[in-house]
């Protein structure tokens, strides 16, 4: 012990003296060069350094993420306790922290927490969160379930797309002159209004079905299958719409669509079989190694990159990357668990707040604008509910179950916000119509739970659990 103490003292002390000697004698080297004069700090406050650190971009970003997470978790918890999906509270958190509330009543606090120069950082982080989220959504699409109920699912899901899409295009005739940006052609505006009206939020719908205990009930099973088919169809339509909007000529639009089809065929018939073989060899014990995780992320990022280059948005590439993930050994669940916490808890709330920062409810400052907003909500509800319920009834379901499916398919939530932000980024949607559509997404998502309770409250308890034979007979 004594020997160690002597060594420690001599070793550290000796080298400390040598460092002091070099620093002291190295000052004469300054004479060989012209050093910039240090700014006088006599008049500076002793807190100037702290003030500079507070406004550092990294400090600002950390503060923003902290506040966003706290507000999102609190409101998400409160709305969940009120019988709503937590995502509704998280979307409200974005509006609360945006110019509609915080910016309106506490502008200095808003400009301190969310200075304009810092919004780009939130946007890029939120886009990473969305890419991971869409990857998870793609993995949650159960191809086997869609195949088993393909006939019924395709009829209901496509009816729930085409009818609200039609109503969205109809509404464009009345909204284009007032709300479309001046450089946007009618076709682009109408197509985006159509797709924005026809989206169903598959993840939120799945959460509602699970929370209501309808996972094994025909209502829940058919709704989830239809929503999955709806997602696949709607995102393919959205990719085509983006290609048309971004293209400068008809030929460039056709080129984008051809490249998109080639990309889909390559992912489905080359990458998917290759991943299946790789998973079979590398993951026989049901676990995923770090090297295999790296390959999965590589496929995700390259798929997103290719779609962004083609011109159909990186989110579509992330979605398709999730769809082609092999289902063997329950590996999709393992991959989701690796990504879900970071994507949904940390990064996705940034997207809600970034959307909230773009939502200016105070712009709807006259009765006419609120009438337009109400009209959009009514058209959105009628389009989804009537289209889905009518198709479900034609396929043989009772009116009660058909209406229940229609209410569930009317859920928009996060997926609607994704589409609206794409339209806003492309300059297709003005701030006013963007705000109106965000309100519509909130209202249609908020009403799902109460409307479903209202419709299903008279269903006898024995109908809530159906045997396999009965469930299969529904289709």
- Say whether 261 sits in a helix, a strand or coil: helix
Give the SS3 label for residue 367: helix
Residue with tokens 């509609």: 100
- 184's tokens: 């946007």
Distance separating alpha carbons of residues 253 and 429, to the nearest angstrom: 20
Q: What CA–CA distance (Å, rounded) separates 182 from 436?
A: 18
Q: Which residue has the tokens 């004594």?
A: 2
Neighbours of 170 (CB within 10 A): 16
User: Which pLDDT belongs to residue 117?
Assistant: 84
Question: pLDDT above 70 covers what percent of the chain?
Answer: 84
Residue 464 has pLDDT above 50, yes or no: no
Whether 214 has a pLDDT exceeding 60, the answer reads yes
pTM of the model: 0.77
pLDDT of 252 reads 75
Q: Which residue in 365, 324, 358, 362 sits closest to 429, CA to CA?
A: 358
pLDDT of the residue at 468: 34
Q: Are 391 and 156 in contact (CB under 8 A)?
A: yes
The confidence score (pLDDT) of residue 346 equals 84
* Confidence at residue 45, expressed as pLDDT on a 0 to 100 scale: 57
pLDDT over threshold 60, residue 411: yes
- Report yes or no: 207 and 87 within 8 Å, Cβ to Cβ: yes
The segment with the largest mean pLDDT, out of 4-18, 58-72, 247-261, is 58-72
The average pLDDT across 397-412 equals: 86
The Cα–Cα gap between 99 and 106 comes to 9
Neighbouring C-beta atoms of residue 304, cutoff 10 Å: 24
Say how far residue 128 (Cα) sits from the centre of its chain: 10
pLDDT exceeds 80 at position 228: no
Query: Which of 198-212, 296-310, 341-355, 457-471 has the highest average model confidence (pLDDT)?
Result: 296-310
pLDDT at 42: 47
Confidence (pLDDT) at 34: 60
Which pLDDT tens digit goes with each residue over 286-315?
A: 567 778 888 889 999 999 999 889 877 888
For residue 356 the two structure tokens come to 């909230």
pLDDT above 80 (res 116): yes
Query: What pLDDT, on a 0 to 100 scale, did the predictor assign at position 142?
Result: 67
46 in helix, strand or coil?
coil
Give 472 or 371, the one with higher predicted confidence: 371
Question: d(Cα 462, Cα 475) in Å, to the nearest integer?
Answer: 20
88-97, 112-121, 236-245: least confident range: 236-245
Binned at pLDDT 50, 70 and 90, residue 358 comes out as confident
Q: Report the pLDDT value the prediction gives residue 286, as an integer from 0 to 100.
A: 58
Chain mean position to CA 473:
35
User: What's the pLDDT score for residue 287?
Assistant: 63
Taking residues 22-26, report their average pLDDT: 82
pLDDT value for 311: 78
Distance CA 131, CA 124 (A): 11
Q: How confident is the model at residue 54 (pLDDT cuts 50, 70, 90)?
A: confident
Cβ-contact 190, 166 below 8 angstroms: no
Give the residue from 95, 94, 87 showing the smallest Cα distance to 137: 87
Mean pLDDT of the chain: 81
Confidence bin at 51 (pLDDT 50/70/90): confident
- pLDDT of 21 reads 85
Which domains are seen in the chain, by residue range? 87-459 (1.20.1530.20)
Give residue 284's pLDDT. Answer: 58
The residue-averaged pLDDT of 82-86 equals 79
Q: Given this model, what pLDDT does residue 467 score?
A: 36
Q: Give residue 71's pLDDT band: very low, low, confident or very high (50, 70, 90).
A: very high
The least confident of 129-133, 269-273, 279-283, 339-343 is 279-283
């Amino acid at each position: 012990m004594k020997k160690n103490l002597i060594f420690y003292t001599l070793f550290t002390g000796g080298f400390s003296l040598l460092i002091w000697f070099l620093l002291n004698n190295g000052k004469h080297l300054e004479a060989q060069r012209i050093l910039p004069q240090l700014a006088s700090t006599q008049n500076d406050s002793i807190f100037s350094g702290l003030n500079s650190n507070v406004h550092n971009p990294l400090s600002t970003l950390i503060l923003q993420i902290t506040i966003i997470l706290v507000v999102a978790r609190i409101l998400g918890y409160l709305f969940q306790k009120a019988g709503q999906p937590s995502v509704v509270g998280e979307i409200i958190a974005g509006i609360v922290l945006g110019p509609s509330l915080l910016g309106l009543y506490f502008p200095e606090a808003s400009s301190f927490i969310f200075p304009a120069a810092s919004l780009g950082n939130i946007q890029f982080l939120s886009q990473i969160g969305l890419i991971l989220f869409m990857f998870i959504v793609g993995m949650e699409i159960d191809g086997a379930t869609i195949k088993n109920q393909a006939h019924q699912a395709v009829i209901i899901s496509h009816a729930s797309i085409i009818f609200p899409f039609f109503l969205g295009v109809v509404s464009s005739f009345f909204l284009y002159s007032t709300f479309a940006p001046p450089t946007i052609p009618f076709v682009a505006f109408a197509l985006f209004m159509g797709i924005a009206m026809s989206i169903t939020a598959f993840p939120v719908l799945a959460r509602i079905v699970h929370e209501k205990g309808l996972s094994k009930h025909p209502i829940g099973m058919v709704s989830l299958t239809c929503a999955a088919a709806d997602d696949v169809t709607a995102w393919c339509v959205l990719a085509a719409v983006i290609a048309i909007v971004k293209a400068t000529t008809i030929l460039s639009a056709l080129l984008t669509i051809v490249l998109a089809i080639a990309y889909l065929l390559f992912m489905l018939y080359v990458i998917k079989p290759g991943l299946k073989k790789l998973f079979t060899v590398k993951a026989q014990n049901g676990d995923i190694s770090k090297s295999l995780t790296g390959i999965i992320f590589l496929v995700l990022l390259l798929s997103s990159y290719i779609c962004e280059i083609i011109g159909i948005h990186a989110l579509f590439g992330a979605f398709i990357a999730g769809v082609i993930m092999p289902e063997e050994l329950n590996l999709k669940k393992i991959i989701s668990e690796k990504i879900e916490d970071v994507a949904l808890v940390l990064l996705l709330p940034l997207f809600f707040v970034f959307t909230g920062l773009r939502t200016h409810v105070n712009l709807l400052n006259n009765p006419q604008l609120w009438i337009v907003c109400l009209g959009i909500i009514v058209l959105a509800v009628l389009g989804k509910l009537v289209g889905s319920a009518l198709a479900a009834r034609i396929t043989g379901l009772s009116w009660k179950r058909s209406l229940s499916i229609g209410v569930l398919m009317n859920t928009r939530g996060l997926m609607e916000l994704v589409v609206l932000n794409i339209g806003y980024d492309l300059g297709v949607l003005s701030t006013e119509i963007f705000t109106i559509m965000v309100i519509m997404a909130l209202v249609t998502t908020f009403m799902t739970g109460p409307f479903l309770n209202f419709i299903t409250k008279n269903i006898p308890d024995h109908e809530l659990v159906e045997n396999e034979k009965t469930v299969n007979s529904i289709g």
